[in-house]
Amino acid sequence: MQQETPRSECTLEEAVSVFVELRPRLFGIAYRVLGSAVEAEDVVQEVWLRWQNTDRSTVVSPVAFLSSATTRLAINVAQSARVRREIYIGPWLPEPLDTSIDPEAGAERAEALELALLLLMETLNPTERAAYVLREAFDYAYAEIAEILQLSLVNVRKIVSRARRHLSAGRRTTVDTDEHRRLLEAFVAAAQTGNVAALEALLTPDAVSLSDGNGLRGAARLPVLGRSRVANLATATQQFWRDAEVRAVQANGRHAVVIYRDGRPTIFLTIAASQQGIHQLMWVFSPSKIAAFFDSPSRSTSALGTRPPRRRSALGALRDAS
């Protein structure tokens, strides 16, 4: 006779199954709101604990419950992060995320994922950013967003509309992925050979170079503005390029490079470009952000994909989620 599984175990099995299926979306929401995979992972872990300890028999919609918990926690973390970033030394850049494991997931809705847009979204307050992410990146209905943010429907519509206008005003039409890669490769090649003229030809007149190092030696503590200054900065230390190994990677659905010295990844570089040329260079020197980038493939499609991952045993899924 087959032994009946206790109801408590069935409930845990169901809870794990639901959470694992929704985890990609939860991480995607938190990452876009926070611009940090590490902080987003912390949020998702906290949501799992809440889900585990909730009386799930009273939850009408697990999607609504988990989305709400994730969004509200991410907003709280974003509010405290804004205070911490006020004492950050030099420019702050979002933490890049490796999307090479699942290129389709990385490219999907890339307008809410690219590093340049994540950086621009930092000019929104956390509630505006969350509303924009839920609507534009995950296509939540306005009524659902109002419920999650505990705001009126009219207010939510205004917030999303205001966020769209603000981002549109500061954003340029981006090139496709092939042209983005061509421009990045051309920039690196010109920088390696010290060809300032070639670099200037790739840059827009108002190009800006941002270096995220939080005071680390070698990282510019102020944005470098203008075609000539950016080109000269990129070629200032030729010994650096001669001793470096450059490897192509994919981050946030776009091409990037990681620069290695003595076999260790030390700098991450990507660009933002329009038909007029490269208008933004983003250099990440921060060791913790580079380490997080290399840790991100372990999340695979659990990070940003919208498709549910393959089914796993409850025990294995629970170990991953907790």
Q: Indicate the DSSP class of residue 289.
A: H
pLDDT tens over the chain, length 322 residues: 344 434 444 487 888 889 998 998 999 999 999 999 999 999 999 999 999 888 888 888 999 999 999 999 999 999 988 777 778 899 999 999 998 865 444 434 445 789 999 999 999 999 999 999 999 999 999 999 999 999 999 999 999 999 999 999 988 989 999 999 999 999 999 999 999 999 999 999 999 999 999 988 878 899 999 999 999 999 887 777 888 899 999 999 899 999 999 899 999 999 999 999 999 999 999 999 999 999 876 553 443 333 333 333 332 333 343 3
| Among the listed residues 67, 80, 62, the one whose alpha carbon sits nearest the alpha carbon of residue 29 | 67
Q: For residue 105, what pLDDT is reported? A: 43
Q: Are 277 and 245 in contact (CB under 8 A)?
A: no
| Among the listed residues 45, 41, 14, the one whose alpha carbon sits nearest the alpha carbon of residue 30 | 41
Joined together, the tokens standing for residue 41 give 């992972």
Report the b/e string of 151-186 with b at 16+ CB within 10 A: beeeebbebbeebeebbeeebeebbeeeebbebbeb
Q: For residue 85, what pLDDT is reported? A: 77
Q: For residue 86, what pLDDT is reported? A: 77
Q: For residue 53, what pLDDT is reported? A: 87
By three-state DSSP, how is residue 94 classified?
Answer: coil
d(CA 54, CA 69): 12
Q: For residue 305, which phi and psi values (nearest 5 degrees)?
A: -65, 150
Q: For residue 101, what pLDDT is reported? A: 65
Within 10 Å of residue 148's Cβ, how many Cβ atoms?
Answer: 22
Q: For residue 210, what pLDDT is reported? A: 97
Output the furthest CA–CA distance in the chain (Å, rounded). Answer: 81
Q: For residue 297, what pLDDT is reported? A: 63
CA angle 284, 290, 294 (to 5 degrees): 140
Q: For residue 300, what pLDDT is reported? A: 39
Q: For residue 199, what pLDDT is reported? A: 97
Q: For residue 115, which phi and psi values (nearest 5 degrees)?
A: -60, -40
* Full-model pTM: 0.85
Within 10 Å of residue 234's Cβ, how many Cβ atoms?
Answer: 25
d(CA 182, CA 176): 10
